[in-house]
Amino acid sequence: MGWLIRSGGVAVILSVFGIFYFVGKEVLPLFRSADVAPVGKFDALAVPAVLGVDEWGEMPFFYDGGDKVVFLSVADAARREIEVPGLAGLKITAHAFDPVHLRVSLGLEDGRVGSFLVGYERKFSGDGKSIIEPAVTAEPWFSLKHGEGAVTAVSYGDSGAGRVIAARRGEGAVATVSVLRLGMKRGLVGKGKLSLLEEVEVTKELGAEPLLLRASQNGAMVLVALADGGVAYFLADSQGVSKRQTFRPFDGVSPRQMDFLFGGVAVVLTAMDGRQEQWSLFRAGRDGERMFGESKVFPQLGEGRVIFAASQRNRTFLTGSGRDLSIRHSTSGAVRWEGALDIDPVTAVLDAKGGHFIAAAADGTARRYSIHDPHPEAGWRAFFGKVWYEGGSEPVYQWQSTGGSDDFEPKLSLIPLIFGSLKGTACALIFSIPVALLAAVFSAAFLPLEIKRVVKPVMEIMSSLPSVVLGFLAGLWLAPLLETRVPSVMMMTLVVPLAALATGYVWCRLPNSFRNRFAQGSEWIIVIPFLALAGWIGWSLGPVIESLLFVHKDAATGNEIADFRLWWPQAAGISFEQRNSLVLGFMMGFAVIPVIFTIAEDALSNVPESLTAAAAALGANRWQVVRTVLLPVASSGIFSALMIGFGRAVGETMIMVMATGNTPITEWNLFNGMRTLSANIAVELPEAPVGSTHYRTLFLGAVVLFAMTFFMNTAAELLRQRLRDRNKLV
Amino acid sequence: MPSSVPESRPDFIQVDHFSFHYGEKQAIFDIDMAIPEHRVTALIGPSGCGKSTLLRNMNRMNDLIEGVRHEGDIRLNGTSLYDPSVEVISLRKRVGMVFQKYNPFAKSIYENVIFSLRVAGRSKKSELNETVERSLRSAALWDEVKDRLHDSAFALSGGQQQRLCIARAIANQPEILLMDEPCAALDPLATLKIEELITILKKQFTIVIVTHNMEQATRCSDRTAFLYMGRLIEYGHTLQVFEKPSHPETEAYITGRFS
């Protein structure tokens, strides 16, 4: 028999460690940095003015400003040259590369701007292998009307429907900048024709010599970096092109590099001295316009040529100067990888899948590297620190794991969830601890045995109520009911306990001859009608109090409305929601009270009768017996009851999911909801792809939840043992 | 023997045709007896004879049990225990009780002794100190514990703990001291000490003691009541009951033919 018990114990320990192993396996990859390994070399190519690559990183192309694009297959080192149609004989004076659309934009000596697109098609042959077929398509040319001389810089933005080309003509102080808006004219049949809508010359609005041009990939913005250190921001929309802002990222030092990140609302700039910052668009005030503001400072780069390549999949980017490159992530500001190349690169590119990067040197040698970084968004800072997200006006703790579009920036702070768990637990416990403990004391020390025999099983049945039923009741019945009667609830919580105390006081003043007619422990029958009456009074007083105290003055009409729901946001400045902490507290009470009650009642009932008898024989009344003997002796058991209640509340999921509104906000407001770690896992895990950052982060939430309860329980157990030793029995 | 004992009122505790039921089961049948002041009265009898029940009715400790009822009355110094205007709590303050198993609280020796004062709401330091010394001296424990009054009561030996319980019971100067087999859990030496103590304490208190130990009854009681099957069989001076029992059951019991 002994071996059976032993093996059972070992099995339990093993399965606990098994859980640790599994959870650890899911969570640990989040904290790994990126691995980068060289996987290929190419040599003796022309000077790579433009370096691009297909989404799998298997066939980079090199363009040197001539009329041909060179494709190089990684698999078999096959080199293939494709001529760009219509480029022969033209003198190309400016070019730029947009890795989103694989577009090479061009500027000519004669003042024309245009572009060609590189395409890859993956074909599967019969034997299961695939080959990549590259293609090059030319786009129409547009002549610049404004300015003189050759085009010296060009940038192309394309939202699909509308396009923008920013171009500079001339050099130095006489350089001019034009922004061309292009539109698709749709015919009745066939493809639409790309045509020029307007050309806007913006040179006068710059105020200094233009150095760099960058149109956002979606064609909505044009940024012009200036020699005086400023960056001019132009908005291009269907209304035209208008200047919105000039910002100065480096206090007068002009930027040397300026590129949009994935998503197109944040731009990374590097100064001549190597400082690197991220500026993003956000509203500074409540209703201000979206302007660029500094939102991140990255570690400084060395001097020299700046390499920059943004990922087309997430907010990582490859940057560096000289041979030293690093992979950085914009959201957390973390450096994912750092290393030195064995060539001196002039340009680099990340493939669209994020699995490789290719760097090329001036002499035509190139290197291909594999990147293994499945969780760039993760990290201590992202999970537990304040992060300045794109579009936000300040660093915040925020949880928003998924969004409507691919270029969404995941916000993975666990702080709002930890806060939600603590708030939910606090709400549940504040409500249930007094009720449960007082009920346990009453049942153990005051109630006659025959009633106690009914009360205990009923409470235990209460604890077996499925929490999904409680959650359903909370969300769909209690929440709408309480929504309109908050003042009534407040009055009831005030009036009912007062009525109980008052009844007790009056009872004690009654003569013994009257009181002795009731058996000890049956006094509660007398209190019940008074409590019911008090409850009714409290409930009916609510609207009266509401009309006296909680009057909301409507700003628009000047009408005065007695409604707590309107008054609270106005008075407290925080929101009122139907599914709020109050509702949660009530319903969690149903889940937590029976747990605390049952264990505390057992602890109190197990106090040796000899001690209570001794106290009673010494003239202690029932309440004094409770205070001096029952509570101290049962304190360790009561403490266990509270801890188990805490554990129940922290881990409770269904009620939290259904009654809290699941809003991951960090606000100590009794009248709004929360999202707890447990509810978060329940809600999001079914939608998280296995192995993704999101999936692993949910597991991290589970680890945090476990750590919280583990530390609480350990601390509580130590405290409980001290209590027990102090009140130990003979 | 008891020459130094003060003046005694013969019916200090008057048990007046008292019957007692635990639910369906009747435990005491119409007992009628008068217990004199400043005497030790021993209740003897076989297990289940109702002696403890009778004792526990003298401070209404049986009220704590569910489903009990009684007939008749018990009067302490003229006051009826079951008068509707009696407050049980104040009644218990007049009656100290010592239990079979020593049961000090998980508190210091000092706090144990003054428990009854604390629950009565008295907190004057000098009064408390005085009470502790007086009670512990009365319980013949003062010299052993005076240097460690604030140690846990559990640090004492069994006999000392029981004497602490006696000190605790007499701290609030009750009129009556009820002892329910006070030596049942003690070794012979400790028992002897408690018995010596009882003979001293009767100068101050009227003592009713339940005991299984015949020698103990003869050694320290003045009166002995023999109860059998819930009835009072014989009641009289201890010497008389033990030497010339008038009932055959008494004789059978005290000679050890049944227990």
pLDDT given at position B2: 47
Residue A334 in contact with residue A314, Cβ under 8 Å? no
**Closest Cβ–Cβ partner in A516, A612, A619 for B84:** A516
Q: Identify the closest residue of chain A to B115 by CA–CA distance.
A: A618
Alpha carbon of B235: minimum distance to chain A alpha carbons (Å): 26
Q: Are A730 and B97 in contact (CB < 8 Å)?
A: no
Residue A233 sits in a domain of what CATH number? Answer: 2.130.10.10
Q: Identify the closest residue of chain B to A608 by CA–CA distance.
A: B103
- Identify the three-state secondary structure at position A3: helix
User: Do A316 and A391 share a domain, yes or no?
Assistant: yes
Instruction: Determine whether B31 is exposed, middle or buried from the number of CB atoms within 10 Å of its CB (0-12, 13-18, 19+).
Output: buried
Nearest partner of B56 among B22, B105, B11, judged by Cα:
B22
Nearest partner of B51 among B252, B208, B202, judged by Cα:
B208
Alpha carbon of B158: minimum distance to chain A alpha carbons (Å): 10
User: Which residues in A lie closer than 8 A to residue B66 (C-beta atoms)?
Assistant: 448-450
pLDDT given at position A232: 94
**Domain final residue, candidates B173, B190, B212:** B173
User: Do B71 and B181 share a domain, yes or no?
Assistant: yes
Alpha carbon of A613: minimum distance to chain B alpha carbons (Å): 8
CA distance A24 to A29: 9
User: Do B256 and B196 share a domain, yes or no?
Assistant: yes
User: Which residues in A lie closer than 8 A to residue B104 (C-beta atoms)?
Assistant: 730
User: Do B81 and B198 share a domain, yes or no?
Assistant: yes
Is A594 within the bounds of a domain? yes
Residues of A with CB under 8 A from a CB of B: 448-450, 511-513, 516-517, 520, 608, 610-621, 624, 628-629, 632-633, 726-730
Is B1 within the bounds of a domain? no
Instruction: Return the biggest CA–CA distance within chain B.
Output: 56
Residue A664 in contact with residue A675, Cβ under 8 Å? yes
Q: Provide the domain limits for residue B123.
A: 104-173
Alpha carbon of B257: minimum distance to chain A alpha carbons (Å): 32
Alpha carbon of A411: minimum distance to chain B alpha carbons (Å): 54
User: Do B122 and B145 share a domain, yes or no?
Assistant: yes
Q: What is the 3-state secondary structure (H, E, C) of chain B?
A: CCCCCCCCCCCCEEEEEEEEEECCEEEEEEEEEEECCCCEEEEECCCCCCHHHHHHHCCCHHHHCCCEEEEEEEEECCEECCCCCCCHHHHHHCEEEECCCCCCCCCEHHHHHCHHHHHCCCCCHHHHHHHHHHHHHHCCCHHHHHHHCCCEHHHCCHHHHHHHHHHHHHCCCCCEEEEECCCCCCCHHHHHHHHHHHHHHCCCCEEEEECCCHHHHHHHCCEEEEEECCEEEEEEEHHHHHHCCCCHHHHHHHCCCCC
Q: Identify the closest residue of chain A to B156 by CA–CA distance.
A: A730
**Cross-strand pairs, B102:** none
**Domain final residue, candidates B143, B173, B203:** B173
**Closest Cβ–Cβ partner in B85, B97, B119 for A628:** B119
CA B188 to chain centre: 19
Model confidence pLDDT, tens digit, residues B192-226: 989 999 999 988 899 999 998 888 899 889 999 99
For A128-141, b/e burial (b = at least 16 CB within 10 A) is eeeebebebeebee
Is A297 within the bounds of a domain? yes
β pairing state of A142-143 and A130-138: unpaired
pLDDT given at position A510: 86
CA distance A381 to A329: 12
**What is the tally of structural domains in chain B?**
2
Is B224 within the bounds of a domain? yes
**Domain final residue, candidates A419, A435, A454:** A419
Q: Are B89 and A617 in contact (CB < 8 Å)?
A: no
**Domain final residue, candidates A367, A385, A419:** A419
Q: Are A610 and B95 in contact (CB < 8 Å)?
A: no
Residue B30 sits in a domain of what CATH number? Answer: 3.40.50.300
Residue type, A91: K
User: Do A289 and A405 share a domain, yes or no?
Assistant: yes
User: Which residues in A lie closer than 8 A to residue B58 (C-beta atoms)?
Assistant: none
For tokens 């993704």, what's the residue? A692
Nearest partner of B172 among B80, B59, B57, judged by Cα:
B59
Is B99 within the bounds of a domain? no
Is B156 within the bounds of a domain? yes
**What is the tally of structural domains in chain A?**
3
Q: Are B87 and A512 in contact (CB < 8 Å)?
A: yes
Q: Are B103 and A611 in contact (CB < 8 Å)?
A: yes
User: Do B156 and B251 share a domain, yes or no?
Assistant: no
**Closest Cβ–Cβ partner in A449, A516, A618 for B115:** A618
Is A217 within the bounds of a domain? yes
User: Which residues in B lie closer than 8 A to residue A621 (C-beta atoms)?
Assistant: 89, 119
Alpha carbon of A587: minimum distance to chain B alpha carbons (Å): 35
Query: Which ranges of chain A have pLDDT less than 70?
Result: 44-46, 186-191, 728-730
| The token pair that represents A647 in the structure block | 């554990």
pTM for this prediction: 0.85
Q: Provide the domain limits for residue A626.
A: 427-675
Alpha carbon of A462: minimum distance to chain B alpha carbons (Å): 27
User: Do B221 and B187 share a domain, yes or no?
Assistant: yes
Is B4 within the bounds of a domain? no
Q: Identify the closest residue of chain A to B112 by CA–CA distance.
A: A615
- Identify the three-state secondary structure at position A655: helix
User: Do A431 and A414 share a domain, yes or no?
Assistant: no
Angle, to 10 degrees, between the axis of helix A581-605 and the axis of helix A415-445? 40
Which stretches of A626-692 are DSSP H helices?
631-651, 654-659, 677-684
Is B18 within the bounds of a domain? yes
Q: Are A448 and B66 in contact (CB < 8 Å)?
A: yes
Residue type, A32: R
Nearest partner of B164 among B185, B200, B194, B188, judged by Cα:
B194
Alpha carbon of B171: minimum distance to chain A alpha carbons (Å): 9
User: Do B120 and B213 share a domain, yes or no?
Assistant: no
Model confidence pLDDT, tens digit, residues A58-83: 888 988 888 889 898 888 878 888 99
β pairing state of A130-138 and A112-124: antiparallel
**Domain final residue, candidates A637, A652, A675:** A675
| The length of chain A, given as a count of residues | 730
Q: Identify the closest residue of chain A to B100 by CA–CA distance.
A: A610
Alpha carbon of B105: minimum distance to chain A alpha carbons (Å): 7
Pairs of CB atoms within 8 A across A/B: 87
User: Do B69 and B192 share a domain, yes or no?
Assistant: yes
pLDDT given at position B3: 46
The chain-wide mean pLDDT, for chain B, equals 89
CA distance A270 to B231: 106
**Domain final residue, candidates B151, B173, B195:** B173
Is A705 within the bounds of a domain? no
pLDDT given at position A189: 65
Is A4 within the bounds of a domain? no
Nearest partner of A111 among A157, A169, A153, A166, judged by Cα:
A169
Q: Identify the closest residue of chain B to A452 by CA–CA distance.
A: B66
Is A717 within the bounds of a domain? no
User: Do A366 and A478 share a domain, yes or no?
Assistant: no
Q: Are A617 and B66 in contact (CB < 8 Å)?
A: no
Q: Are B66 and A608 in contact (CB < 8 Å)?
A: no
Is B195 within the bounds of a domain? yes
User: Do B257 and B182 share a domain, yes or no?
Assistant: yes
User: Do B79 and B119 share a domain, yes or no?
Assistant: no
Is A443 within the bounds of a domain? yes
pLDDT given at position A193: 78
User: Do B63 and B115 share a domain, yes or no?
Assistant: no
**Closest Cβ–Cβ partner in A511, A610, A629 for B99:** A610
Is A254 within the bounds of a domain? no
Q: Are B96 and A617 in contact (CB < 8 Å)?
A: yes
User: Do A136 and A113 share a domain, yes or no?
Assistant: yes
User: Do B186 and B254 share a domain, yes or no?
Assistant: yes
Model confidence pLDDT, tens digit, residues B36-48: 999 999 999 988 8
User: Which residues in A lie closer than 8 A to residue B154 (C-beta atoms)?
Assistant: 728, 730
pLDDT given at position A45: 65
Is B167 within the bounds of a domain? yes
